[in-house]
Copies of this chain bind each other. A is one copy, B any other.
Amino acid sequence: MVVSLRLPSLSSLFLPSVSRRSPAVLRRHHHRILRTPVFAASFSAQTTVSETDDRVDTQKSNRVQDQAVTPRSKDFNAWYLDVIEQAELADYGPVRGTMVIRPYGYAIWEAIQDYLNVKFKETGHSNMYFPQFIPYSFIEKEASHVEGFSPELAVVTIGGGKELEEKLVVRPTSETIVNHMFTQWIHSYRDLPLMVNQWANVTRWEMRTKPFVRTLEFLWQEGHTAHATPEEAEKEAIQMIDVYTKFAYEQTAIPVIAGRKSKVETFAGAVKTYTIEAMMGDRKALQAGTSHNLGQNFSRAFGTQFTDESGLRQHVWQTSWAVSTRFVGGIIMTHGDDTGLMLPPKIAPIQVVIIPIWKKDDDRAVVLNAASSVKEALHAAGIKVKLDDSDQRTPGWKFNFWEMKGVPLRIEIGPRDVSSQSVVVSRRDVPGKQGKVFGISMEPSVLEAYIKDKLDEIQSSLLEKAESFRDSNIVDVSSYDELKVAISQGKWARGPWSAGDKEELRVKEETGATIRCFPFEQPLGIKSCFMTGNPAEEVAIFAKSY
């Protein structure tokens, strides 16, 4: 479905808006419809690429496709937007900064949900749902929370045709309404811990937007827990950042660095914020998930108390934690290349695509028949497999299309393969002939084992590649000058830090870099702050970020 879309480039349409005013929605809308769909022409041209050989020359057909994709090295942002468009991950909504998540992009989000939902339940959380409309007065109850969120709020002022007496905030996050409810539900220590999660949409009126990375409305999960002791809350906050870290490494092959945020970067209303920071292909940092120890900030603001075992009334200790559709952006920007998206097998909606190839009509039935058998065998083995048997596109077009979509493995079956009862298997992550293996037996048990093995290999290989890229772009610094050099080279700087908020903001102003985190993994030995020379207990990582 919706396989062949032809849309104008997103690049020019999803650029950061400079206006702080509302979008000129209709103007843009009309503009868009009237634009010449530039890719339509180049994309259609591909369908005429004739296949003169039993085996398709990928290199040649790729050249056609390349016209439509900005090279990553040339303009990372344009490349990112091109991939989102051509891999059919998302489209712009009619309102500035909003995003339509298309089926293929949504399937990646569903894979993220499927994994995390199980982990959340295994760790004792239940799903539930809180309303998205929050009385404005709630937001004002926690001082730093209102300071952090009030500039980004969307506000409902009219309901059922009437001006509302109290304005309603469209949730930017749910701590306030959660605490309002927790206050009614929690009475004694027996009601604790209370551990819930919701999958929901949230709204933040961002001025600089970018599909998946920062949109006016996005999808996320937000966990909220209440505990009887600060130790339990801390343990929970750490447990959930560990769940995210494991997820990032093992499912998405993103070698995030987990750590603690500086005070300046801590969530509005939290005591401590833990984060996972990922290095994108342009070496900017992406905050990919956070877990907050909220202490008693919200329980004090909302009077969320319980009677402890000795009969005393106490405020509960809380956490909240979230990952969002931003993670999809992280996957694109970690693994993608000039050919398009590249998906880690564990998160790929389609792990293997089968392309049948024939010239003569006589061969069609026998090739399709073999392709179907292979598909059934792999499907039965639990592999996510798609057979692209459409007559409307050439094999060359299909090769490009599924490479653009980042499918980890391609199986090619032509008449000669059927004769020899074998297939050709190509890896998305190893371009050209090097990634292509001929003569893999069609015999189900042999093929299944081979495919599963290759998928595991790709999964590991993507992680290794990303790790080595990350490690070669982190520079250990022992002076502010060294940090400046590293940041100006686009790298991350890691160095001992014990300076104050003022110095941190100075670094930001002068270099554009912020403290991404104090990583959990710390070097041994005595350190002194690269800024002040004072003793420093920890190293911090500085980087420019999304």
* A positions within 8 Å CB-CB of B: 1-2, 4-7, 20-26, 29, 32-33, 40, 91, 93-95, 98-103, 105-107, 109-110, 124, 126-135, 137-138, 150-168, 170, 177, 180-181, 183-185, 187, 190-191, 193-196, 200-201, 203, 205-207, 216-217, 219, 392
Contact = CB atoms under 8 A, between A and B. Distances in A.
A177 B137 contact: no
Given A2-B191, A200-B201, A180 B106 contact: no
A100 B128 contact: yes
Given A155-B157, A207-B160, A126 B99 contact: no
Given A165-B22, A180-B29, A4 B159 contact: no
B101 A160 contact: no
A90 to B, nearest CB: 9
A221 B205 CA distance: 26
Contact of A135 (B94, B177, B180): B94
Nearest to A105: B128
B151 A128 contact: no
The 6 closest A-B pairs by CB, nearest first: A103-B126, A160-B205, A22-B164, A98-B131, A155-B158, A93-B131
A100 B131 contact: yes
21 contacts: A1-B194, A2-B126, A7-B184, A22-B159, A22-B164, A25-B137, A32-B184, A40-B187, A94-B135, A94-B138, A98-B133, A100-B128, A100-B130, A103-B128, A106-B126, A106-B127, A132-B217, A133-B154, A154-B159, A159-B216, A160-B206
A494 B168 CA distance: 45
A5 B98 CA distance: 39
Given A2-B194, A166-B25, A184 B91 contact: yes
Contacts of A23: 165-166
A127 B110 contact: yes
A24 B165 contact: yes
A133 B216 contact: yes
Given A126-B1, A132-B217, A191-B2, A100 B155 contact: no
Contacts of A207: 160
Can you tell how many copies of this chain the complex includes? 2
In the complex, which of the residues A7, A20, A128, A166 has the most CB atoms of chain B within 10 Å of its own CB atom?
A128
A26 B137 contact: yes
A428 to B, nearest CB: 22
A101 B124 contact: no
Nearest to A303: B33
B195 A1 contact: yes
A236 B100 CA distance: 24
A189 to B, nearest CB: 11
A468 B135 CA distance: 46
A432 B394 CA distance: 69
A161 B151 contact: yes
A546 B124 CA distance: 37
Given A95-B168, A106-B126, A195-B1, A100 B181 contact: yes
A213 to B, nearest CB: 16
Contact of A129 (B2, B106, B151): B106
Nearest to A225: B1
B129 A101 contact: yes
A22 B183 contact: no
A161 B168 CA distance: 13
Given A22-B166, A159-B205, A168-B95, A133 B177 contact: no
A180 B160 CA distance: 24
A160 B170 contact: no
A126 to B, nearest CB: 4
Contacts of A164: 22
Contacts of A156: 154-157, 170
